Structure 1
Amino acid sequence: MAVASTNYKNTHLLTIEPDTYWSRRTTSDPVDVEFDIEGNILVCNATDEIIKFNQQGQFLSRFSVGLDRKIKGMSCNENGEIFMTDDNAKEVIVCDDEGQVTFDFSVPRDAESSMNLRGLVVSNETGDVYVVDSYAAKVLRLTKNGKLLNKLGIYNEIKGTLVSPCYIALDSNQNVLVNDKDQNRVQVFRPDGQFVRSLRGCRHPGTSLEFLNQASGIAVLANGTVAVGSQAGLFVCKNESYGPIIRRFDDKNSSNGIMGTKGIATYRNVMAVALSIQNAESTIELFVGY
């Protein structure tokens, strides 16, 4: 199966280097990226700090959402509220664009397992909040007030079992798309937990041409296709069975290869990708998404 390349020079807009904008007490690499309601870029790094840039790469502000918090995922709703996972307090917090926390709620914990909160996404249609717990290998569907509705990816199901979920997105049909890193795929569910399909970056099951190895970072583009980062590059695949690859944003086997993808976010026709590679400078890359 041939993968259509996208000219990197024509799709890449700019590179943001966030490292110098964290406070002196902060040294962690970015773990997620999100656009606020005005199209500015928010970056978190598993601490209490959030930094903000505009789409021209200019630094706008840095704010704290409260000492001892550990923010690992962000999602902005249509009202401008920013939902975040706090893995330290095991909570979801909601704040305005200046970092003022307006409310929070605890995430229900399975008594038999530890908890590691990662990505989250908020539905503008229902207000439901989907939170990834990577240690329990589940996605929790919660009301906006924190009431547990159901779980997705429950262990021991033949299809749809999650092993190492990390990032999450919703499509226009309210299907829930979850990176399952160690299974090299994206798992797709209905809100009630029913398994729909898996996206593996291949056209047929069992083929060796599977590009979504170590899938990390995900966003649904306006045309319904899915942007997914992996160890093999940054790809766009169809949101259908097996997830055949349509194109890639980076240049294979060149200095423009996209590696170490963390969060991916979209705003209109712009896509932001957080990259974090061991022993290399972390960046936020902006692309024309589609």
Structure 2
Amino acid sequence: MKNKIKLLIVISITTIGNEVAADELVKSFTQTRITKFIPSLSIVELMNHEGVGKLITSVAHKVKTEDENISVTKGHSFSVKVSSLAESADVDKLTATLKNPLGEKSVTEVVHRKEVYTITGRCNLEGEWHMDITDGNMLHVIGSPVSVKVEPLGLVHTIYNISKYKKHRKLAKVSDVVGLLDTDGCMLVSSYSKDLIKFDQSGNFVSKIQIPQNVKVNCMHQIGNGHMVYSDGFNKCVIMCDNQHHEIRTFGKGVLQYPDGITVNQKTSILYVADREYPCVFKFNIDDGSLLGKIGSEGSEAGQMKGPTDVAVTKEGHLIVADRDNSRIQMFDDNDKLVKILVGSGEEDGQVFVPTGITIDMDGNVIVSSNYKLQLFDQNGKFIKRIDNIDDGLNIPCGIAVISERPRKVAVANHGADNVKIFNY
């Protein structure tokens, strides 16, 4: 019969009549330390040392719960965060290795700031990857290995038959999509109707929402606390509603003619509205509905507009305008002054022709839908790539929204074909 060796670790704690404090200290120690037994593997070690091995104890580290199992897009940089469960002077000692489905390793970078480690990596092969994270004593951190699912780039889902979920204006085609990243991760689709249709990120139907008032919802924008603003083609205004979609306030009644794309600068409480019938962007106070002014004038010179269709605000507070009839994207500062023509006119990749939708992603990049294509630019207007392929079936793509951070997904209201396209990018 084989001999069994039992290893007993005793932690001695001196207290003054306080067994509870001792229990808590033991619990704290075991929760914030990782101990590994390394057995002696040779007769020489057994002869020269007492015992059968040695113990290594390290400060415990833990992968953030939301980072233990992640999905990313092929070739896209991503990060995993690891926190220290106890104070330690031994920093910058974590090591991470990415392994692809073939067992090949990729380079990662580990940065330490204030007891939080950020590990960045990139996967250039689709499939299931794993990230092994160890400390200076080669002990795995809690939550390691991290499971990394790498998804393909390009078109992943198409949502057909939008009209079958509607009761109001069933023949009206899709106009916009908005991502619900701060709530349930789903998206809402509008189509010049009082019916809003909710789908998940895989394009599966979730529910139908019917606006209580008589409206034709064109474009939408989430403003937090479950509140939303949308442009209403029936009443020719913009409406703010609560999380039950009841009207709170209206903007621009008697002023707007064809309210289209809308956005809100949360820092300045300004609502921006692009109106196709006017060569300008209207500004309203989001808190009381008052008109604050206009940006732009009619014409084709820099800073002028013709039929603007959509707007977006950058992290710096700059306003991005899809100047549709001039076939360009313009940028204005927070004083309404032209900064630059961000993207010029043309039908080649890196240019836009009749742009209709625009949004800003988490990296500050600009995504533009125009003339049967979807393109990604950086914050300075430098062309990064075309997101769709020529045979993906984009037909008058309109409203667009980023619906997932990891993996990066963008949804497009494909107006001409009356469907919604979802792309990894």
Q: TM-score, normalised by structure 2?
A: 0.58
Of 200, 204, 208, the residue aligned with 1:58 is 204
Q: Deviations over 1:208-253 (max 9, x none)?
A: 776301111111122222111111521112332xx3321011123x
User: Are the structure 2 counterparts of residues 89 and 108 from structure 1 closer, same or farther at C-alpha, using a change threshold of 3 Å?
Assistant: closer
Equivalent residues in 2 for 1:9-24, closer than 5 Å: 9-17=152-160, 18-23=162-167
Of 371, 386, 398, the residue aligned with 1:231 is 371
Of 19, 33, 43, the residue aligned with 2:189 is 43
Indicate conservation of the 8 Å contact 1:48/1:68, yes or no: yes
Indicate conservation of the 8 Å contact 1:211/1:232, yes or no: no
Q: CA deviation at 1:149?
A: 1.7
- Partner residue in 1 for 2:117: none
* 2:388 matches 1:250: yes
User: Are the structure 2 counterparts of residues 234 and 109 from structure 1 closer, same or farther at C-alpha, using a change threshold of 3 Å?
Assistant: same
User: What secondary structure does 2:230 align onto?
Assistant: strand
Tell me the distance in 2 between the aligned counterparts of 1:251 and 1:213.
Answer: 17
Q: Deviations over 1:68-95 (max 9, x none)?
A: 3121110001322111111221222222
Of 264, 268, 277, the residue aligned with 1:135 is 277
User: Are the structure 2 counterparts of residues 156 and 19 from structure 1 closer, same or farther at C-alpha, using a change threshold of 3 Å?
Assistant: closer
Q: CA deviation at 1:27?
A: 1.6
- Partner residue in 1 for 2:267: 125
Indicate conservation of the 8 Å contact 1:95/1:103, yes or no: yes
Q: Identify which range, 9-18 or 118-127, moves more after superposition.
A: 9-18
Indicate conservation of the 8 Å contact 1:216/1:229, yes or no: yes
- Partner residue in 2 for 1:193: 336
Structure 1 portions without partners, runs of 5+: 1-5
User: Are the structure 2 counterparts of residues 276 and 197 from structure 1 closer, same or farther at C-alpha, using a change threshold of 3 Å?
Assistant: same
Equivalent residues in 2 for 1:68-217, closer than 5 Å: 68-99=214-245, 101-107=246-252, 109=254, 115-144=257-286, 145-155=288-298, 158-200=301-343, 211-217=351-357
Q: Deviations over 1:98-117 (max 9, x none)?
A: 43x1412231655xxx7111
User: What secondary structure does 2:374 align onto?
Assistant: strand
- Partner residue in 1 for 2:7: none
- Partner residue in 1 for 2:37: none
* 2:412 matches 1:273: yes
Percent of aligned positions that are identical: 26
Tell me the distance in 2 between the aligned counterparts of 1:98 and 1:285.
Answer: 27
Q: CA deviation at 1:178?
A: 1.2
Tell me the distance in 1 between the aligned counterparts of 2:170 and 2:271.
Answer: 28
Tell me the distance in 2 between the aligned counterparts of 1:200 and 1:162.
Answer: 14
- Partner residue in 2 for 1:219: 359
Tell me the distance in 1 between the aligned counterparts of 2:398 and 2:348.
Answer: 25
Indicate conservation of the 8 Å contact 2:300/2:326, yes or no: no
Indicate conservation of the 8 Å contact 1:250/1:257, yes or no: no
Question: What amino acid does structure 2 have at the position aligned with 1:284?
Answer: V
Tell me the distance in 2 between the aligned counterparts of 1:142 and 1:215.
Answer: 24
Q: TM-score, normalised by structure 1?
A: 0.83
* Segments ≥4 residues shifted beyond 4 Å: 6-9, 206-210
Q: Deviations over 1:21-50 (max 9, x none)?
A: 122642211111112332221111112221
Q: CA deviation at 1:157?
A: 8.8
Tell which has more relative contact order, 1 or 2 (C-alpha 8 A, sep 6+).
Answer: 1
Structure 2 portions without partners, runs of 5+: 1-75, 77-125, 127-150
- Partner residue in 1 for 2:177: 33
User: Are the structure 2 counterparts of residues 10 and 72 from structure 1 closer, same or farther at C-alpha, using a change threshold of 3 Å?
Assistant: same
Question: What amino acid does structure 2 have at the position aligned with 1:200?
Answer: V
Indicate conservation of the 8 Å contact 1:201/1:245, yes or no: no
User: Are the structure 2 counterparts of residues 232 and 25 from structure 1 closer, same or farther at C-alpha, using a change threshold of 3 Å?
Assistant: closer
Q: CA deviation at 1:138?
A: 1.4
Pairs aligned (count): 270
- Partner residue in 2 for 1:3: none
User: What secondary structure does 2:282 align onto?
Assistant: strand
User: What secondary structure does 2:395 align onto?
Assistant: coil
User: Are the structure 2 counterparts of residues 175 and 23 from structure 1 closer, same or farther at C-alpha, using a change threshold of 3 Å?
Assistant: same
Q: CA deviation at 1:9?
A: 4.9
User: What secondary structure does 1:19 align onto?
Assistant: helix
Indicate conservation of the 8 Å contact 2:179/2:401, yes or no: yes
